[in-house]
Chain A
């Protein structure tokens, strides 16, 4: 395979342009306005004096600069991005027109409901669809990303115990050791103590260990199922029973929902609260790190009196007013955990997910899930049967779901070639690497998720490259350490990037350091 990524030695935006150039100007300022208002002036205490130190460029310079930068970037539209737990599926283009629709530009979030009936219908129906997909009773599209949805969920757990007068006891959130790092971080952000629970030899939560970890202090448990190992947790029902037994709530991290589509719903497994990632399972594009959308869903579980978990959900609510025959946005009620952001939700991402689900229907989503599972297992079987140094830890006989975690521990031991080297070897032929060194319970981990979007040909090409990498590792491991050569730069120096004397988060730090104004980061 031949691959050469664009190599533009593109200067920083501060290093190009010329004083006096401009790429966009405001409209003409009416002389009448100047006449009425008089001279521009600001109180001295708050006046900047001189303009900010921004570059001066024409429109063509700006466009070329960013187009060149885009050519040194890699997304799903360029090739497979099988990052495990990221579910990088193709983003169908029919949504582009609507997600970026010019009508949205001047829709202030406080505009009256009657201007945005079509949009509210999208939000309302999307929430109902997500409820049917997950088996939950209410979904709110308020959170901006998966971790934001997790925070919403953890705050609901907190609120639940507050309202039941038990928060002084319910201080702990349990998190399996295979969990995404966001889960423990979320527990802390919501004011809980995080207690880690080990995974058993089959890749399920260790039920015996869980039994000793569960106590009256347990506020809830955050589970990811299928786990980050790509395995369905066979102890799920038992886990739910144990958590509910101490009046804890079961939280489900929906990052891996693709592995269940069509065959199981978290709402049927004892889950009380979950979040989804629309930028994963529901195909809104990831934008190089967002925007995402992380709806939070709950069961109508009683809290106290007439209150249920639905009353605790965050954010504004879109309701259908039968009498008025239209949709309305209402403020969160008094029992809600409140607002997690100022406004409704990441609307363009919601539109994207809406068109995806509308296109697929229930059948299409089931087939998507099936194909993603078939892709994973096909890949695993081919790789394991045609290589020696790749292994599949945790119950290798069990089918994987949306993703699989391969270990190159043997490769490292026998040849010195690491998971990072393997990743760079993939980049070198134009294939994006999997997630590496995660989950933490697998050493030298390659966490791979092709999704339903990848063709058999691409999976075969991936296997062939991994075979080639194994051959190089055995015959010439030194070569592996020099990968990648065909990307726009070679291996990046992370030590220099982070050293207190050289760490450079902005152009400003670079220039101030060169002038001797600032020293090392202390």
Chain B
């Protein structure tokens, strides 16, 4: 090929890089990149095995949630996302040759739409927190206002991400008081803060504390009366048994798709859910890719990327977001997960988790000095616990007994250093839960 190009040395193809900027290949080869020379697959594999031998996956899945949760990943989901045609495809810029990929993404959007009873879902954001950041930017564009009311018990990491997103635009997050007994929004406090500056009210459903707020419908009404949007942040599995956001007045719904067959993966990739209701001013202000149903030239069903006038490659500086690469493969995982569980499976799973988390709380509450749940409102999956032992010490003690459990809550709202967020899902057997309970008991008694 070099001969065809009439080039003696490949260096000639780089001749337009000015001296002083151009690196000599000899010097480049000495850079500390990799292990001094190319490695054979045998060597790479051995090296990776060694590194993975120093990853100690816990025997009992962690009793930890707080925005992402331990769930079983069905092998069929792993299998589907390993399909080379999905795994190694680019964004489907050429619709005709990627109809299957687009149908899978359309089905993800559609399945999530049914779960939330929201009309329009995009084909994914990076994670819950960045989806929330984008939802807030969108609310600022739609309302022209800059204040966001959020619960004081809000997921602290989500809060930090949201602040990163809105700060350059003058957006501000302000606390709504949360009732210390039940863990519900203090409606009086919310009403008093709903001024003409409020762009949106944001409520997690369930709350970060696991509490299912009975005021969620009323909050939507109040927000709308004040001219603010209502943004809900959801955990999708519990949606199978909870009244869907579409019936609660939500304008925008964000959430974490991680529970839908993604695994915990030490931080990513996850799946940001983003949905709005059927209103042009919302839909045309959405971030992200959307796949739509249409026809081909022969009138057969077909799929296309739609409403692209919102996106960066057309609108450039006027785009609704810069998002391009998203989490498409994770959306396909979620679509296959929701299809596998389906109508009855997902409901059964949600009830199963409700039962097990209640069982754990009930058993823990029987320990002298332990309050579980600390917040008395109805809950699922996550719940708050107060023990006579400092939360970080309790965690350490449990770790020595082979149990990874809890996220300390000290520093958040009014929580103390003795408070912990615990999580139980379908991956914890009754024996696991009993062991957690007896371990806590032994540490509390000490």
Contact = CB atoms under 8 A, between A and B. Distances in A.
Contact of B100 (A70, A180, A510): A70
A57 interface: yes
6 contacts: A20-B344, A57-B339, A374-B1, A377-B5, A506-B110, A512-B119
Among A42, A106, A343, A361, max chain B CB count under 10 A is at A106
B22 interface: yes
B285 to A, nearest CB: 12
Interface string B286-324: 000111111111101111101110011111111101111
A344 B5 contact: no
A13 B242 contact: no
Complex A-B, nearest 7 residue pairs according to Cβ-Cβ distance, in ascending order: A191-B168, A287-B329, A72-B100, A289-B328, A75-B88, A343-B267, A118-B54
A291 B341 CA distance: 24
B28 A347 contact: no
B335 A145 contact: no
Interface in A472-522: 482, 484, 487-494, 496-498, 500, 502-510, 512, 518, 521-522
Contact of A40 (B96, B294, B354): B354
Interface string A253-282: 000000010111100110000000101000
Contacts of B293: 497, 504, 510
Nearest to B71: A105
A107 B266 contact: yes
B127 A342 contact: yes
Nearest to A436: B93
Given A83-B90, A191-B168, A521 B363 contact: no
B439 interface: no
Interface residues of B, number: 204
A436 B293 CA distance: 23
Interface in B149-187: 155, 157-158, 160-161, 163-164, 168-169
B275 to A, nearest CB: 9
Interface stretch (A25-33, A209-217, A304-312): A25-33
B300 A489 contact: yes
A339 to B, nearest CB: 5
A349 B270 CA distance: 12
B10 A23 contact: no
Contact of A22 (B16, B85, B280, B341): B341
Given A54-B338, A188-B319, A129 B34 contact: yes
Contact of A489 (B96, B106, B268, B319): B96
Given A70-B83, A373-B10, A341 B52 contact: no
B378 A17 contact: no
A62 interface: yes
B312 A185 contact: yes
B362 interface: yes
A194 interface: yes
Among B51, B73, B295, max chain A CB count under 10 A is at B51
B445 interface: no
Given A23-B76, A52-B114, A366-B28, 18 more contacts: A12-B107, A23-B345, A72-B100, A74-B85, A77-B85, A103-B57, A104-B264, A105-B263, A182-B322, A277-B325, A287-B327, A288-B87, A340-B161, A342-B129, A362-B29, A505-B290, A510-B293, A512-B119
